[in-house]
Amino acid sequence: MGSVMSDPQAGKRVADRQAAEWHVRLGKRPVSAATLSAFKVWRETPVNADAYRRVEMLWRSAGGLGADADVQALTRETLKATAPRERAWTRRLIPATALLAGLGAVVLLASFWLQTRNLYSTEVGQHEVIRLADGTQVRLDTDTRVRVQFTGAERQIVLEQGQALFTVAHDADRPFRVSAGATEVTALGTVFDVRRRPEGARVTLLEGVVVVTDADARAGGTWRLRPGQQVETAKSNVTPVAVDAVEVTSWTQGRLVFRGTPLREAVAEINRYLPDKIVLAVGPLADTPVNGVFATGDGDAFVAAVSDLFGLRAVVDADGGVRLIRSSVSG
């Protein structure tokens, strides 16, 4: 795919905002039948329903947010903006400010703001390049989410899921740290790739030096990488190994390179970029090595190539997915 999204989270942010407003509105008694009917129509949209579920969960845990300095500042600004003396301004903000009358509503919306600020993500099959305030460039792979937390002492990135390539701006006074679960990568100015796994993470260094630590490692949970080295903290015996870093990061160019990759692993990698997945049902052939270069997101080309190479048959399921089976097996 390789396309760059301008703001993939815009729709979600709108839904979150509306959900917070609906929560406040429904909390005021009495609630009219017309309001309930309008809410029901709004919630029929899946993204809105998901947002409202999040707001209900957040409201139950929002009690401690009042002590947060950012929430306090936002509360003061919001209450100032909605003060009765600002009549012309208030009229322009209706109906939104009318829903923010209580402090509880302000805290609720502030908590959403805290959760979504400096949050960047991509959908399945999408890429995005973001530039941070310090000049660092972060390239997000498919289905990836990162959270940026900069302070005066350090620059912290939380890789919540997926994979990202970091081109770090040098700042000797503020180390740059990327956390992926229990794994943490520390650098000053360098280029490295991090992929979060269900357990641990895979770190590949292209330029400079990084130190990788893992809190879950049994012993020796610190590794210093040189360019061209990679470490996978999910493994039992973690040792840095030499890799082709350009090949590892070929996804940044919209390509996936397979060299002797087992078919099942190649399918899993291709599936990361596909909303409709490929299912492999070929028995022992799953371990057959695959060699080739494929465009990310081009599932059709991959299916055609391996079907022809290994004598497989592609069966399209009702949900849009594709099953790869032996040609001698009926669909």
Per-residue pLDDT of the chain (331 residues; tens, 9 = 90+): 443 344 545 677 788 778 878 877 787 667 788 888 888 899 998 888 888 887 776 665 555 454 455 555 555 555 455 444 444 444 444 444 444 444 455 555 555 555 555 889 999 999 999 999 999 999 999 999 999 988 888 999 999 999 999 999 999 899 999 999 999 999 988 999 999 998 889 999 999 999 999 887 655 589 999 999 999 997 777 889 999 998 999 999 999 999 999 999 999 999 999 999 999 988 888 999 999 999 999 999 999 999 999 999 999 888 888 999 987 654 4
Q: What is the largest CA-CA distance in the chain?
A: 79
Do 314 and 291 contact (CB within 8 A), yes or no? Answer: no
What b/e readout covers 112-149, taking b as 16+ CB neighbours within 10 angstroms? bbeeeeeebbbebbbbbeeebeeebebbbbbbbbbbbe
The dihedral sign for the CA sequence 185, 188, 192, 195: positive
Q: Rounded to an integer, what distance in angstroms lies between the CA atom of residue 49 and that of residue 263? A: 39
Q: How far is CA 28 from the centre of its chain?
A: 35
Whether residue 81 contacts residue 92, with contact meaning beta carbons closer than 8 Å, is answered with no
Whole-model pTM: value is 0.66
Token pair of 281, please?
Answer: 């049902």
Bridge partner residues of 19 (DSSP)? none
**Using CA of residue 21, residue 24, residue 29, residue 31, what is the dihedral sign?**
positive
